[in-house]
Structure 1
Amino acid sequence: MSATARSEDAPAAGEIAARLREAGFVRLVGAATGDALAASGVLARALADRDRPFQVSVADLPADTERSTDADLTVAVGRSDPVADCSVPGTAEPASETAFAVARELGADPDAALALAGCVADGREPAGAVAEAAEAAGIERRPGVAIPTTDLVDGLAHSTLVHGPFSGDSEAVAAALAAAGFVVGDPEASDPRLDATGLDEQAHRRAASLVALRSVGEDSVPPRGGHAVERALRPFVGGPFETVGGYADVLDAVARERPGTGVALALGHDVGEAALDAWRAHARRAHDAVADATTGRYDGLFVARAETDAAPVATLAWLVHAFRSPEPVTLAVTDGAAAAVADDRTLESVLSTAAAGVDGHAAATGTTGRARFDVETGAFITAFREAL
Structure 2
Amino acid sequence: MVSEGRSVDATSAPVSRTLESAGFVHLIARADGDALAASGLLARALAERGTPFQVSVDRTVTARTARVRDREPAADDVTLAIGAIDADVARLETADRSATLAALDCVRDLETTPEPVLALAGLVAADIEPGAGESEWVLETATERGLVSRRPGVAVPTADLVDGIAHSTRLLGPWSGDVDATREALTGLGVALDAPDTLEADDHRAIGSAVALDVIGADEATVTAAETIQRALRPYATPDHAFDTVGGFADVLEATARTEPGTGAALAMGHDVDESARVAWREYGRRAHAALEGASTSRYDGLFVVEFDDGPVEAVARIAAAFRSPEPTVLAVSKGRRSSTNGTGEAAIVTRSDDPLGATIEGVARELGHESDTAPEYDVGHRRGYLRYDTTRDDETIIETVRELR
Confirm or deny a common fold (TM above 0.5): yes
Residues 333-379 of structure 1: CA deviation (Å, up to 9, x unaligned): 11311111111122111111111111123222231111122223332
The reply to whether residue 333 of structure 1 matches residue 333 of structure 2 is: yes
Question: Is contact 1:96–1:118 with CA below 8 Å preserved after alignment?
Answer: yes
Residues 45-93 of structure 1: CA deviation (Å, up to 9, x unaligned): 101111111111111111122222334222221x232415222336523
Moved more, 53-62 or 133-142: 133-142
Q: Give the partner amino acid of 1:362.
A: Y
Distance 2:276 2:377 in 1: 31
Secondary structure at 1:373 match in 2: strand
Partner of 1:52: 51
Question: Is contact 2:62–2:85 with CA below 8 Å preserved after alignment?
Answer: no
Moved more, 373-382 or 154-163: 373-382
**Candidates 325, 334, 351, aligned match of 1:342:** 351
Q: Give the partner amino acid of 1:97.
A: L
Long gaps (5+) in structure 1: 1-8, 185-193
Long gaps (5+) in structure 2: 1-6, 336-344, 370-375
Distance 2:381 2:26 in 1: 20
Question: Is contact 2:32–2:258 with CA below 8 Å preserved after alignment?
Answer: yes
The reply to whether residue 144 of structure 1 matches residue 140 of structure 2 is: no
Question: Is contact 2:173–2:218 with CA below 8 Å preserved after alignment?
Answer: no
The reply to whether residue 380 of structure 1 matches residue 398 of structure 2 is: yes
The reply to whether residue 364 of structure 1 matches residue 373 of structure 2 is: no
Q: Give the partner amino acid of 1:111.
A: E
Q: Give the partner amino acid of 2:139.
A: A
Instruction: State the TM-score, normalized to the length of structure 2.
Output: 0.86
Secondary structure at 2:97 match in 1: coil
The reply to whether residue 23 of structure 1 matches residue 25 of structure 2 is: no
After superposing on structure 2, the runs of 4+ consecutive aligned residues of structure 1 that deviate more than 6 Å are 9-14
**1:179 Cα offset (Å):** 2.5
Question: Is contact 1:352–1:361 with CA below 8 Å preserved after alignment?
Answer: no
Q: Give the partner amino acid of 1:75.
A: L
Distance 1:117 1:294 in 2: 32
**1:387 Cα offset (Å):** 0.7
Question: Is contact 2:155–2:233 with CA below 8 Å preserved after alignment?
Answer: yes
- Over aligned residue pairs, what C-alpha RMSD do you find? 1.9
Partner of 1:102: 106
Secondary structure at 2:231 match in 1: helix
Secondary structure at 1:168 match in 2: coil
Distance 2:186 2:226 in 1: 21
The reply to whether residue 134 of structure 1 matches residue 142 of structure 2 is: yes
Residue 14 to residue 180, structure 1, CA distance change in 2 (3 Å):
farther
Question: Is contact 1:116–1:130 with CA below 8 Å preserved after alignment?
Answer: yes
Secondary structure at 1:362 match in 2: strand
Partner of 1:93: 97
Distance 1:168 1:325 in 2: 19
Alignment of 1:70-85 (within 5 A): 70-71=72-73, 72-77=77-82, 79-85=83-89
Residues 298-346 of structure 1: CA deviation (Å, up to 9, x unaligned): 11101111212xx100001000111111111100011311111111122
Secondary structure at 1:96 match in 2: helix
Question: Is contact 1:351–1:362 with CA below 8 Å preserved after alignment?
Answer: yes
Distance 2:19 2:199 in 1: 46
Partner of 2:364: 354
Question: Is contact 1:14–1:105 with CA below 8 Å preserved after alignment?
Answer: no
Secondary structure at 1:358 match in 2: helix
Secondary structure at 1:73 match in 2: strand
Distance 1:227 1:14 in 2: 41
Moved more, 32-41 or 67-76: 67-76
Instruction: State the TM-score, normalized to the length of structure 1.
Output: 0.90
Q: Give the partner amino acid of 1:374.
A: D
Distance 2:96 2:141 in 1: 20
**1:181 Cα offset (Å):** 3.0
Q: Give the partner amino acid of 1:135.
A: T
Residue 180 to residue 385, structure 1, CA distance change in 2 (3 Å):
same
The reply to whether residue 180 of structure 1 matches residue 189 of structure 2 is: yes
Question: Is contact 1:355–1:383 with CA below 8 Å preserved after alignment?
Answer: no
Distance 1:14 1:167 in 2: 48
